[in-house]
Amino acid sequence: MKTKGLILILTVSLFSSCIVKSLQPFYTKASLKFNEKLLGSWTDNKNGQWTIASVRDEFIKDRKEGIEFSEDDKKAFQNYKDGYIINYVKKDNEAGFIAMPFKIDQQYFLDFIPIEIDDEEINSLAAEHLLKTHSVAKLDFTKDDAVRLSWLSEEKITDLINANRMRLKHERIGPEEILLLSAKSEELYAFLEKYLSSNVEDKWKKSDMLTLVNTNAKP
């Protein structure tokens, strides 16, 4: 799939703390649920600019413009056609993601994965070592038509692991011993379902939260 202008620069940092990363998506295909309310241009509370478009719409537009698609492009479209393409810009640094919307009961979530790394911006050997891991955020539409994204915090999940309250397969990688979940998508989804209804205190930390305001909204 074409990802024009969506470049992930590693110096982009959304948060002051760590978010949970996974090798596998947090959603199952049956749980996917697209919501048009998320489309458009947004500004977050940390001065980031977001442009959110439909993967399906972008694919159709590119096809009408005569762009040739490879078999890999077509396969990617089938995998992500129910998702969004997100362009995030902050301080002239640009990041591109595919985000897949899914629901647990009545609660929306977004599964994020970076879609491109610009080898010109970083050492090419270092780029070969990078994994495009998944993260997950709880998605809430507020009464004033803003959007709140609350990421799953590594600190909270580490506390659950240390207390033997979570048994998801995981690894600690790199010198920083970053938490990387390695469980299957069905297991990750089942964990989120239990976590959502659990009595864990402060499950969605404010340091891992962004509020997006639609820049096209009428005053």
- Where are the chain's structural domains? 21-214
pLDDT (mean) for 30-35: 97
Q: Among 2-11, 15-24, 66-75, 96-105, which is the least confidently predicted range?
A: 2-11
117: pLDDT strictly greater than 60: no
Mean pLDDT of the chain: 86
- Angle at which helices 55-64 and 71-80 pack, to 10 degrees? 150
Distance of alpha carbon 66 from alpha carbon 207, whole angstroms: 44
Token representation of residue 219:
């005053």
**d(C-alpha 181, C-alpha 158), whole Å:** 11
Output the pLDDT for position 18.
Answer: 85
Would you place residue 120 in the very low, low, confident or very high pLDDT band (cuts 50, 70, 90)? low
Q: How many CA atoms lie within 13 A of 96 on its CB side?
A: 14
CB 60 within 8 A of CB 85: no
Q: Is the pTM of this model over 0.85?
A: yes
Task: Please compute Rg for the chain using Cα positions.
Answer: 17
Q: Alpha-carbon distance 78 to 75, whole Å?
A: 5
Q: Determine which of 17-21, 41-45, 132-136 has the lowest per-residue pLDDT on average.
A: 17-21
Query: Can you give the pLDDT at residue 100?
Result: 98
Q: What whole-number percentage of the chain has pLDDT above 70?
A: 84
For 146-165, write each residue's pLDDT tens digit: 999 999 999 999 999 999 99
Q: How confident is the model at residue 8 (pLDDT cuts 50, 70, 90)?
A: very low
DSSP for residue 206: G
Q: Is 192 helix (H, G, I), strand (E, B) or coil?
A: helix
Long-range contacts (CB closer than 8 Å, 24 or more residues apart) made by 76-83: 76/1, 77/1, 80/1, 80/55, 81/55, 81/56, 82/32, 82/34, 82/55, 82/56, 83/32, 83/34, 83/55
d(CA 103, CA 110): 9
Q: Residue 124 above 80 pLDDT? A: no
More confident residue, 128 or 160: 160
- 205 and 17 Cβ atoms separated by less than 8 Å: yes
d(CA 164, CA 86): 36
